C-alpha cells in the first residue's frame, strides 16, 4: 500500500481546509447558505449583522460536509480521511471512491434531517464531514477487517471490524439517549448505513462480461 495520498483523498482534504479558511474569513455567510438546515419553511434568525432568512436547499446535502465548527472539528475529520481514505481509494479506484464518499455524505444528511424533523425537532444548522468519514471507516472495516487499529485514548489495538462495530453501537446509544448533545450521532449512523448499502450492492453486482473480439 502506498504511503502517498491518492488524488481524490488529497483533493477532499485540501477542499475542506480551503473551505474552512474561507469560512473563518466570511463569518456566518457560508453557514447561512451552505450549512444543512432542517426541512420546512424558511426561518428568520438573528445574525451578527441583523436578521437573516435561512432554510433547507438541496445543495446543502453536500455542501454542509465542507464546513466545520472549529479547529478540533476539522482536524479530527481530516485526520480520519488522512489515515483511512487513501486505502479505500486505492482499493475502489478514484471514481468509485468519490461516488462512495458522497453517497455517505448524502445519506448522513438525510438521516439527520429525518431525525430532526420527526423526532428531536429544533431548527439549527449542521456542518462537518463526519458522515463521510464514518462511511470511510465502514468501508475500511469491510475491506480490511483484520487490520489492526490502535486507539489514541486508550492505546488499545483491535481489528478494524471490531473498532467500527463498537463505534457504531456507541453512536446509536449516544443518539438514542441524547448524550453528547450538539453532535449529529444519527448523521454518523446514516453515513455508515449508506456506505454499507453501497458496498453490499457493489459486492452483489455481477461483473460485466468482457467484450468479444
Question: In a structure prediction context, what are the per-residue pLDDT tens digits for the chain, which is 213 residues long?
Answer: 445 899 999 999 999 999 999 998 877 888 888 999 998 877 777 666 667 788 899 999 999 999 999 999 999 999 999 999 999 999 999 999 999 999 999 999 999 999 988 887 788 899 999 999 999 999 999 999 999 988 766 688 889 999 899 888 888 887 777 665 678 888 999 999 999 999 999 998 754 544 444
Instruction: Give domain limits for the chain.
Output: 7-204
Integer angstrom CA distances of residue 100 from 31, 63, 96, 167, 168 = 25, 16, 6, 20, 18
For 36, other C-beta atoms within 10 Å of its C-beta total: 28
Q: What is the pLDDT of residue 181?
A: 62
Q: What is the pLDDT of residue 201?
A: 95
Check: CATH 3.40.1350.10 for 7-204? no
Q: What's the CA gap between 104 and 133, in Å, rounded?
A: 8
Q: What's the CA gap between 195 and 13, in Å, rounded?
A: 19
Helix (H, G, I), strand (E, B) or coil at 15: helix
- Answer for the pair 37, 56: CB distance below 8 angstroms, yes or no: yes
Q: What is the pLDDT of residue 178?
A: 67
Amino acid at each position: 500500500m502506498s504511503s502517498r495520498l491518492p488524488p481524490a483523498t488529497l483533493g477532499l482534504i485540501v477542499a475542506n481546509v480551503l473551505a474552512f479558511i474561507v469560512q473563518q474569513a466570511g463569518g456566518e455567510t457560508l453557514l447561512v447558505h451552505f450549512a444543512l438546515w432542517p426541512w420546512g419553511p424558511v426561518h428568520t434568525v438573528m445574525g451578527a449583522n441583523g436578521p437573516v432568512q435561512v432554510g433547507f436547499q438541496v445543495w446543502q446535502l453536500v455542501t454542509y460536509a465542507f464546513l466545520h465548527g472549529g479547529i478540533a472539528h476539522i482536524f479530527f475529520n481530516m485526520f480520519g480521511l488522512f489515515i483511512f481514505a487513501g486505502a479505500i481509494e486505492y482499493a475502489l479506484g478514484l471514481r468509485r471512491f468519490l461516488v462512495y464518499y458522497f453517497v455517505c455524505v448524502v445519506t448522513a444528511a438525510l438521516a439527520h434531517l429525518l431525525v430532526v424533523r420527526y423526532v428531536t425537532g429544533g431548527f439549527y444548522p449542521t456542518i462537518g464531514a463526519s458522515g463521510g468519514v464514518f462511511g470511510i471507516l465502514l468501508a475500511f472495516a469491510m475491506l480490511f477487517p483484520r487490520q489492526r487499529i490502535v486507539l489514541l485514548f486508550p492505546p488499545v489495538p483491535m481489528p478494524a471490524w471490531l473498532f467500527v462495530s463498537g463505534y457504531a453501537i456507541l453512536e446509536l446509544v449516544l443518539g438514542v439517549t441524547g448524550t453528547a448533545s450538539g453532535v449529529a450521532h444519527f448523521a454518523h449512523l446514516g453515513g455508515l448505513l449508506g456506505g454499507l448499502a453501497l458496498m453490499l450492492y457493489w459486492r452483489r453486482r455481477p461483473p460485466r462480461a468482457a467484450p468479444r473480439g
